[in-house]
Structure 1
Amino acid sequence: MKISRLKKSHKILQYFATNFNYREPYQVLIDATFCQAALQNKIIIEEQLKKYFQTQIKLLTTQCIILEAESLGAPLTGATKIVKKFHVHKCGHEGKPVTAAECIKSMTKDSRYIVATQDRTLQDRLRKVPGRCLLYLHKATPVLEEPSNASKKYVSKKSKDLLPAKIGEKIDHMKQTQGLKSSTGKEETSKKKHKGPKNPNPLSCKKSKKQKVQTTQSVHKNDKNTKLNLNAKSKTLMKPKRKRIKIPNHVKEIVKK
């Protein structure tokens, strides 16, 4: 059997287990039409279904199904022998048998059965009821039918009804874990410190063109002032040079005399 087919069957079973409480061992309710198809395709039902499901299953039938197969006579002799091998489950119609279709419908009202049938009319009826899981044979291959539209609508409606309550419970749980809500159910109001507005980061602020021009002018002015101050200081620090006076020679002679 292909792995993809096995994964698909497990996915469908998980869907019905999650949303409609199907549990292991899965109970497969088999009628005579399914046994007749298995006989024509020369397959052994128990072995084939165990390979297909690869989980615990229990094959069941009812007294009403057996009696109907026997009443049809020779065409279903082989199917009657096969269906008698399965465990006969009490259906509540003992002493007052009904048709196999009516018996299966009444059996699936409260309990969770995987209905194995080739009866198209019965399949159509069961598809209209949410939570009904169908199994049929495609030639020699068992096929677990995907959830019907009625089942999908029921699940979507149920999930929408439960969604607000679940969200509220999760929010309350998160508040309790984070200490925002007390065990009594009252929310604890924590005082927050209000901080004043912060000044912008001067590095992130761009200077305007006017400011740039003013800054450059002020830099030039400062440079000129510094130069003047340095010149003045240098003048004060420098010593005045002594001037030499030349004495004429005739004056020198007079002084010597």
Structure 2
Amino acid sequence: MRFTKQKRHRKIVRFYTACFGFREPFKVLCDGTFIHHLSNNNLVPDKSVSSALAAPVHLFTTKCAIAELESLGRSYGGSVNSARRDFRLAKCEHDQNVSAYDCIVETVGDNNPEHFFVASQDVKLRKQCQKVPGVPVMYGLRNAVYLDQLSSFQREYVKASEEERLRMTDSEYKLLQKRVKKISNSEIDSSEEGNEDEISEPRALDNRKTYKRGLEIKDKAKFKLKRAKAPNPLSRKKKSKPSTPASNSGKKENAGSGATRSRPRKRKRSHKAQTTSGTPAT
């Protein structure tokens, strides 16, 4: 229950800050009935009201409300002392004391320029304040302080004011007409200058074409020929070490002997063997 109450109060406070320009610390204008309720229930005025609004507050009352409490008798002596001790005095332009109802209604006025929260236990005063746009109302119930919900009049007033902001005023409409005329005149002047330059346009076009052709020739991409790169060092054979003269002589001898041995020997036939084989035996 406490969480839902705080959530509802935050929404109402956010509405008044966004639509009517309320700012912290909030000003709370209290009458004698609300002060008497706080004193009877042993509630600290600053803490109870600030916890309800979840923000720092400044408590105000009027001299007419204090005079009304004093006229009620000794039973209201504690509330009179708390009003003088814990509350500030709002400006009240009454030479003679008036009832707290009339005094608070006059201080709030038609638009609530001081951005007051009105705290009262009087139902008549609360209903009257809800008829004024931008006047949030508070009241006490047992050991807690509550913020009254928005009235239908206040919601309709906010919607109407938003629609008026979206509409164009007479001064804005006149400025718009002047700007449209200037733009139209500048367009007419530019069109006349364009008609004068129609004769020189073909030459300019030819020059642009030739210039573009030159750019196209220069801007053509020149393909680079692929040149042979150096061989991969890992695929190359290792260089042979320089040989000594002794090893070279030995290699030559071996090469010579190998060459003689590698040649096939030719078989020579003797003539005697041919004659013996060719003649018959006697």
Work out whether the TM-score is over 0.5.
yes
For residues 181-192 of structure 1, the aligned pairs below 5 Å read none
Question: What SS does the aligned partner of 2:69 have?
Answer: helix
- Asked if 2 retains the 8 angstrom alpha-carbon contact of 1:27 and 1:113, the reply is yes
**Are the aligned partners of 1:30 and 1:117 in contact in 2 as well (CA < 8 Å)?**
yes
Write out aligned runs for 1:3-14 (5 A): 3-14=3-14
Aligned pairs for 1:147-186 (under 5 A) are 147-165=150-168
**Residue 164 (structure 1) shift:** 4.3
Distance in 1, matches of 2:60 and 2:74, equals 23
- The residue that corresponds to 2:70 in the other structure is 70
Instruction: Please point out which of 112, 115, 118 is paired with 1:112.
Output: 115
Matches of 1:79 and 1:51, distance apart in 2: 21
Structure 2-normalised TM-score? 0.55
CA-CA distance at 1:161 after TM superposition: 2.1
User: Given residue 11 of structure 1, which amino acid in structure 2 is its aligned partner?
Assistant: K
TM-score normalised per structure 1: 0.60
The percent identity for this pair of structures is 29
Figure out how many residues of one structure are paired with residues of the other and give that number.
173
Q: Are 1:48 and 2:48 matched, yes or no?
A: yes
Counterpart of 1:218? none
Alignment of 1:112-131 (within 5 A): 112-131=115-134
Task: Tell me how far apart the structure 1 counterparts of residues 96 and 65 of structure 2 sit (CA, whole Å).
Answer: 13
Q: Residue 165 and residue 121 in structure 1: after superposition, are their counterparts in 2 closer, same or farther (change >3 A)?
A: same
Q: Deviations over 1:170-218 (max 9, x none)?
A: xxxxxxxxxxxx9x767x9xxxxxxxxxxxxxxxxxxxxxxxxxxxxxx
Contact 1:130 1:148 in 2 (8 A): no
Measured after TM superposition, the shift of residue 58 of structure 1 is: 0.5
CA drift at 1:91: 1.6
2:138 is the alignment partner of 1:135:
yes
Question: Match of 1:163, as an amino acid?
Answer: L
Contact 1:130 1:154 (C-alpha < 8 Å) held by counterparts = yes
Counterpart of 2:105, as a letter, is: K
2:38 match: 38
- AA aligned to 1:115 is V
2:73 is the counterpart of 1:90: no
Deviations 1:105-151 (A, max 9, x none): 11111321001100111112112222211000121111111221211
2-side partners of 1:185 and 1:131: how far apart? 43
Task: Quote the Cα distance in structure 2 between the aligned partners of 1:117 and 1:57.
Answer: 16
Contact 1:30 1:83 in 2 (8 A): no
User: Is this contact kept in 1: 2:118–2:138, CA < 8 A?
Assistant: yes
Contact 1:25 1:57 in 2 (8 A): yes
SS at match of 2:58: strand
Counting helix residues as a fraction of each chain, which structure ranks higher? 2
1:97 to 1:160, Cα distance in 2 relative to 1, 3 A: same
Rounded to whole Å, the distance in 2 between the matches of 1:47 and 1:39 is: 13
What is the CA–CA distance in structure 2 between the aligned matches of 1:22 and 1:92, rounded to whole Å? 24
Q: CA RMSD in A?
A: 2.6
Structure-2 residue corresponding to 1:144: 147
Retained in 1: the 8 A contact 2:64–2:97?
A: yes
